[in-house]
Amino acid sequence: MKAARVHEFGAPLRVDEVAEPVAGDGEVLVRLTFAGVNPIDVRLRDGGAGRVPLPFVPGCDGVGVVDSRPVVVYGEGVGLRRPGTYAEWVAAPVSAVVPVPSGVDPAAAAGLGLAGVTAWALVRGVTAADRVLVLGASGGVGSLAVRLAASAGARVCAQTTSPGLAVDGEVVVCAEDGLREAVRSFAPTVVLDGLGGAYTGEAVRAVAEGGRITVFGVSAGSRGEVDYATLYRKGVTITGHASLSMPAADVRAALSDCLALVADGRVRVLVDEVVPLGEVNTAHQRLLERRATGKLVLAL
């Protein structure tokens, strides 16, 4: 089978011909058709997500078939501690395999693993009384968070630096230094921050009194400055979230809920492009340069 593998940390992936995996106890063999491309895959390639034995197949999520039935693969260390989905076959734990409802596009389902579970967790607790600002709304998680927050009845504002983002809600096109003014009239009660860097400090200035900020990514930088006086005077709460640390049962529940929302048309997965496995390094570069609107998906 073909598989894209890390042979050297910091170097491009290589597509190799390798033996098909064999399912062990508690595992099932999945014939993959699509794989999601996520920032964690790039960090793993570069050695920033744990030092796995090389060569290694990355890829945290994907979609395929088991006994002619479509399934999503995500969780239980797939693509992080055990071979991932950048391959034509994967031996996955049964608990990391979730059925895909009829009518769901397989390429869209491939974008619902890491991104869908993360977005689902981010909007838990969001109600129709909230005004939700999503920073980095062009990304895979951000675009889904916009749609899930809207499905919860909240008023939503999507921030991007790229004009042309189409969402069911308000859109602001601005960098971090223009964020506060851009959302002044919106006065968000919740900020979902997938950017980090200077954006987090500006989010503290922009959020309403008593507001909540959840940081789930650092695409704009892993360090920034926060004005603590503004933070405590406004009573702002900042938390961090990583779906990879969620319990397996919660991951399955989140993924099943997301698939159901897509199946009944309440949520749409924004797929930027489906690219061949041989172009995986181009897809990684687009992620690094933030040149994707929605999910990038590999065709296997």
- Three-state SS across the chain? CEEEEECCCCCCCEEEECCCCCCCCCEEEEEEEEEEECHHHHHHHCCCCCCCCCCECCCCEEEEEECCEEEEEECCCECCCECCCCECEEEEEHHHEEECCCCCCHHHHCCCCHHHHHHHHHHCCCCCCCEEEEECCCCHHHHHHHHHHHHCCCEEEEEECCCCCCCCCEEEECCHHHHHHHCCCCCCCEEEECCECHHHHHHHHHCCCCCEEEECCCCCECCCCCCHHHHHHHCCEEEECCHHHCCHHHHHHHHHHHHHHHHCCCCCCCEEEEEEHHHHHHHHHHHHCCCCCCEEEEEC
pLDDT value for 298: 98
Residues in the chain with pLDDT < 70?
none
For residue range 132-145, list pLDDT tens digits in order: 999 999 999 999 99
Which pLDDT value is given to residue 137? 94
pLDDT value for 66 = 97
Task: Please state, rounded to an integer, the average pLDDT across all residues of the chain.
Answer: 95
Does domain 2-111+269-299 correspond to CATH entry 3.90.180.10?
A: yes
Which pLDDT value is given to residue 188? 98
Provide the residue type at 150 as one letter. A
Domain boundaries, the chain: 2-111+269-299, 116-243
pTM: 0.91
pLDDT digits (tens, 9 = 90+) for 46-64: 998 888 999 999 999 999 9
Give the phi and the psi of residue 46 in degrees, each rounded to 5.
Answer: -90, 5
CATH number, domain 116-243: 3.40.50.720
Q: What is the pLDDT of residue 189?
A: 98
The pLDDT value given to residue 73:
97
What pLDDT shows up at residue 143?
92
pLDDT at position 51: 82
